A and B are shown apart, each in its own frame.
Chain A
Amino acid sequence: MTDEGTEAVDHRLDAEHLEFGGGLEILLAAALERVAPGGVLEIRTGSRAVALEMPGWARLTGHELIGESDRRGASVLKIRRGSSRRVLADPLPARGAPERLRAGGELHTADWRGGGPPPEPRPGAGFAPLGAVPEAGAPERHWRLSDSDALWADDVGDLVEQASAQQWDASRDVPWEAARELDDTTERAVAQVMTFLAQNEYAALYVPAGFLPHVNPQLTELVLWLGSHVHDEARHIEVFTKRSLVGGYRGYALASTELSLHTLLEEHDFTASSLLLNVLGEGTFLDLLRFIERRAPDAATAAAARLAHRDERRHVHFGISNIRRAMSRDPGLSEVLVAAAEARAAKLVSLSGLSPILVEALTVMAAASLQPAEIAEAAGEVRALMARMERNRLRRLAACGFSDVTARHLSDLHTPNLM
């Protein structure tokens, strides 16, 4: 083949002695990007072997060798760029403004959409990361959870940020030695309370984990949020299980608790689940964990409760924020949520009050003794805890945007199991 000479060259590449398999393909691809389809790339190579291999490469990659000549001891090849796109997608956009950084050079999740509103999820974009240009022809998937009106929370980006910043280690951040010195009575009570907590935390993990694979990946912050929620709960299961085991006693996993938790798994509406798990269940647990931290007979129990409490605050915050936003967009949602709470309560009619096993364990743990005076004081504290739980439930429901009457009704419907 000889150089036709008349073909206008759009771009030139001097490949020197770079070889196929040694990086030449990279240079060729970059050079061809600078040539429009139908345009001509001229390549100079000092390697005869490269010149001989070039036609096969050009054809394999959808281009055409149109000229070949020798010039001053080197081969000069001309390739006409093919019309076929390498990726079935729009061209990548031009380089945009760099992402905004915070003080200290931090790049926060809450800032990456410029703090803007949630996106309209593109149904066919699949796992295309934020900002990516998805290629056509990928298999489409129907994501059951794709309506940002029902799923989003205005501060979900900040919550994701906090979740990452506040990670902790259940093996090393708890002074486990401190849990080994309690007397039999107190340790047995602690083991029962911790067993109860761990049992509940399983449901707190399984519920968000169940929603996660149905969320449209375009709602990136929400995906990260649910991932963090699941991870938090895994660690709560871990820390409370460890605390229940470390002293040598075992507790009961109560059937009434199991019944209550299974009804959470049966709720498949995301916002209703936000109400039942995040706001009512984990909200009530905030008060319980604070109580345990304050009345813990040992530093390990106190630390476990304190660390879990910090996570649960985020989960409750998300729930309130999600429901407030969803209800402001859908005035009829309040009734739907009440119906969900009523339906759950109907399944729990056999439960009347918190299990006496747990009330007794909480009281003995708080008293750290079976002496009447200490027990009386602790029993009063547990009663006060129950009252505080109710007050705070009403306060959180009001923050969600429920009327006083509805908030009272929802609080009354809440499971005696606390979660």
Chain B
Amino acid sequence: MSGGELRLGAVSYHPRVVTIWERFRDYFADAGVPTDYLLFSNYERLVDAVLDGTVDIGWNTNTAYVVLDHRAGGGTRILGMRDVDRDWATVLVMRKDDTVDSVSELAGRVLALGSRDSGHAAILPLHFLAEEGLDAAQQCELVRFDTDLGKHGDTGDSELHVVRAVAAGEADAGAISAAYFSAFRAEGVPAVADLEVAWRSPDYYHCNFTVLDSLDAEVAQRWSEALLAMSNEDPSLRPAMELEGVRQWYPGDRDGYASLAAAMSEQALLT
């Protein structure tokens, strides 16, 4: 903290991040918990900044959170997350005329993955498929689109490459988040027209606001309450909330990150 003002770090995965946080900064000031924001170009730098005290709060992807919590020895607290972060899932999409009933049928076929640091488009798919008996790294030909490294899949760019590869027949199946697949549908992305969902992973949590345990508990509590009080019925907040993809903020808990922590451990991503 600096002079009673909290510092929040976020990753600038898109220019709209500035619009979002300019509005939210005003909101938190009005709510009595002044919060400035610092933007980082990648989540690795953001995690460093939380750990070294440059920022008090990190607006983290699930992958960044797991790394941060690991490096802090479990000494972190989650102050909130979006409604959409609470039941995130990965889907495998395939061409409608060439789909499968069971993931075991994908052995020997081409699987497209998003950026390798994306929890939902690369790390968790391999983990969950393994739980269902498919060692994709060994049994499938993997095609990776590492187009937004450092952003942990936030841009959706690598997932767009995934669906295009499947639609074009360059891959047989593609792993992307259910949320992005539905969003591509809603936006009318042509590549998804002839695709369908062949498999859906168990749910897991996505982004959250993380602080170190060393942050004053009362301050953290007030910030969390202010976050949860944000309403998209307020016309002056709604546009920024829509840009952030949130209708309602929820308190955070750790339960939904166990699968990712396990996956990152298995894949030697926690060092």
> Which A residues are closer than 8 A to B by beta carbons?
19-21, 25, 48-49, 52-53, 55-57, 59-60, 62, 64-65, 82-85, 88, 136-137
Contact = CB atoms under 8 A, between A and B. Distances in A.
Given A85-B233, A88-B238, A53 B247 contact: no
Interface residues of B, number: 32
A21 B193 contact: yes
Contacts, number: 71
A56 B179 contact: yes
B87 A53 contact: no
Interface stretch (B6-14, B60-68, B196-204): B196-204
Contacts of A60: 84, 179, 182-183, 186
B178 interface: yes
B200 A55 contact: yes
Given A21-B192, A88-B233, A56 B239 contact: no
A66 B196 CA distance: 22
Given A56-B178, A88-B235, A21 B248 contact: no
Interface in B58-98: 83-84, 87, 89, 91, 96
B91 A137 contact: no
B119 to A, nearest CB: 16
A19 B203 CA distance: 23
B185 A137 contact: no
B232 interface: yes
B41 interface: no
A85 B182 CA distance: 19
Contacts of B96: 49
B182 A57 contact: yes
14 contacts: A21-B185, A49-B99, A49-B196, A52-B91, A52-B199, A52-B200, A53-B182, A53-B197, A55-B178, A55-B200, A56-B182, A60-B183, A137-B235, A137-B238
B19 interface: no
B247 A62 contact: yes
Contacts of A64: 87
Contacts of B236: 137
B100 to A, nearest CB: 11
B181 A56 contact: yes
B233 A59 contact: no
Given A59-B178, A59-B179, A53 B196 contact: yes
Contacts of A137: 235-236, 238-239
A377 B25 CA distance: 83
Contact of A56 (B83, B91, B198, B238): B91
Contacts of A21: 185, 192-193
A25 B247 CA distance: 19
B89 A49 contact: no
A412 B10 CA distance: 73
A55 B87 CA distance: 9
Nearest to A49: B196
A137 B240 CA distance: 12
B90 to A, nearest CB: 10
A53 B91 contact: yes
Interface in B152-207: 177-179, 181-183, 185-186, 192-193, 196-200, 203
